[in-house]
C-alpha cells in the first residue's frame, strides 16, 4: 500500500489519457474518501490549466460539493454528472455546475453528459472521476459495465483525459476487479483494508 504523498506524486506524473483505479480502504472509509477527494479534485483539479468532471454515483453532487467546499475547492474548474440524486429523491438543491442523469443504469446518458462537459470546458488537463465503480456494479450487470468502461475509457484516452475510478479495496479477486484490470493503467490502494 502506497502512502498518500506517493500516490499524489504518481497521479501528477500520469500522462494525459491515463486511467487509474483508486481503491479506498474499507476501514476508515470516510477518512479515505476525504483523502481521495483531496488528492484528486483539490490537488490535481486545482491546477489552473485543469477542469474536473466528477461523476457521482454513490453520493449526490450536492453532498460531494459540500465536502469539497470544506477542502477549499474553487467551483470554476469543477463540473458534476450526478446519476444518483433522482434515484435517492434528493434533487431539491440543484447545483449550477451539475448535469443530472435519472439513474446509474443510464450509462449512455452518463457518457453523453461527460462528452458535453468536455466540450463545454476545454482545458489543457481534463480529468474525469467516477465515484464509484462499486455503485455502478450494484445497478448494472457485469457485461454491461464492462462494455461501458471499455467504451468510456478508450474514448477518454483518445481525448487525452485522465480518468480516475474510485472503488473500495475489497473488490480484489472479484468480477469487478477483473473488469477494472482490463481498462486501468495502474491501481493504488488508499488507506487500510477490511
Q: Could you report the per-residue pLDDT of 68-94, keeping only the tens digit for each?
A: 888 887 778 899 999 998 887 766 678
Distances (CA, A) of 46 to 21, 74, 75, 79: 20, 7, 10, 13
Q: Closest by alpha carbon to 7, among 29, 28, 52, 38? A: 38
**The predicted structure's pLDDT at residue 171:** 79
141 touches 104 (CB < 8 A): no
Assigned C-alpha cell, 56: 457521482
Give the residues across from 166 on adjacent strands.
22, 131
Instruction: Give me the residue label for grid cell 475489497.
Output: 170
Answer whether 23's CB lies under 8 Å from 186's CB: no
- Integer CA distances (angstroms), 57 to 3, 111, 121, 158, in order: 26, 13, 21, 24
Specify the pLDDT at position 14: 77
Average pLDDT over residues 160-178: 90
Residue with cell 451539475: 98
pLDDT higher than threshold 90 for residue 48: no
pLDDT tops 80 at residue 157: yes
Query: Looking at residue 104, what is its pLDDT?
Result: 95
Is 1 a residue whose pLDDT tops 70? no
Is residue 97 over pLDDT 70? yes
The owner of cell 483508486 is 22
Report whether the peptide linkage leading into residue 84 is cis, meaning its omega lies within 30 degrees of zero: no
How many whole angstroms separate alpha carbon 30 and alpha carbon 129? 17
**pTM over cut 0.85:** yes
Kindly report the CATH number assigned to the domain that includes residue 11: 3.40.50.300
pLDDT band, very low/low/confident/very high, at 2 (cuts 50, 70, 90):
low
Beta-bridge partners for 116 = none
- In total, how many domains does the chain have? 1
Segment 37-43 mean pLDDT = 86
Domain limits for position 30: 4-190
H helical segments located in the chain: 4-13, 29-37, 61-70, 85-88, 107-120, 133-139, 142-158, 175-183
Amino acid at each position: 500500500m502506497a502512502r498518500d504523498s506517493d500516490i499524489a506524486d504518481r497521479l501528477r506524473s500520469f500522462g494525459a489519457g491515463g486511467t487509474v483505479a483508486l481503491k479506498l480502504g474499507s476501514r476508515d472509509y470516510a477518512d479515505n474518501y476525504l483523502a481521495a477527494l483531496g488528492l484528486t479534485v483539490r490537488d490535481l483539479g486545482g491546477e489552473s490549466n485543469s477542469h474536473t468532471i466528477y461523476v457521482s454515483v454513490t453520493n449526490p453532487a450536492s453532498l460531494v460539493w459540500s465536502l469539497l467546499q470544506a477542502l477549499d475547492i474553487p467551483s470554476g474548474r469543477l463540473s458534476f454528472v450526478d446519476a444518483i440524486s433522482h434515484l435517492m429523491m434528493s434533487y431539491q438543491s440543484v447545483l449550477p455546475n451539475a448535469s443530472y442523469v435519472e439513474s446509474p443504469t443510464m450509462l449512455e446518458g452518463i457518457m453523453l453528459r461527460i462528452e458535453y462537459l468536455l466540450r463545454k470546458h476545454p482545458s489543457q488537463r481534463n480529468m474525469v472521476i467516477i465515484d464509484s465503480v462499486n455503485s455502478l456494479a450494484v445497478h448494472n450487470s457485469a457485461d454491461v459495465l464492462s462494455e461501458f468502461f471499455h467504451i468510456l475509457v478508450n474514448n477518454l484516452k483518445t481525448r487525452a483525459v485522465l480518468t480516475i475510478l474510485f472503488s473500495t479495496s475489497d473488490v480484489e479477486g472479484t468480477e469487478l476487479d477483473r473488469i477494472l484490470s482490463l481498462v486501468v493503467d495502474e491501481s493504488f490502494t488508499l488507506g487500510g483494508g477490511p
